[in-house]
């Protein structure tokens, strides 16, 4: 019998969190100007969307 709680998907959040930290470190280390440092956090948040976009652009050409 189920009590209505679900724990599936928790691993995805952990993977995304580690990816966020890694992307933030990468973008901070690659930044050389003030605005590149400021934009490091938004870039780290949306990196999965950018990755999928670039992969699909490479597969389908555009």
Predicted TM-score (pTM) of this structure? 0.64
**Letter string b/e over residues 27-60, b meaning 16 or more CB atoms within 10 A of that residue's CB:** beeeeeeeeeeeebeebbeebeeeeeeeeeeeee
Residue spans per domain, the chain: 34-62
pLDDT band of 35, cuts 50, 70, 90: very high
**Lowest pLDDT segment from 1-5, 23-27, 34-38, 42-46:** 1-5
Sign of CA dihedral 32, 37, 38, 43: positive
């Amino acid at each position: 019998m189920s009590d209505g709680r679900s724990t599936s998907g928790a691993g995805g959040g952990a993977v995304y969190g580690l990816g966020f930290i890694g992307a933030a470190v990468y973008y901070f280390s690659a930044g050389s100007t003030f605005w590149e440092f400021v934009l490091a956090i938004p870039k780290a948040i949306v990196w999965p969307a950018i990755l999928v976009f670039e992969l699909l652009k490479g597969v389908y050409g555009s």
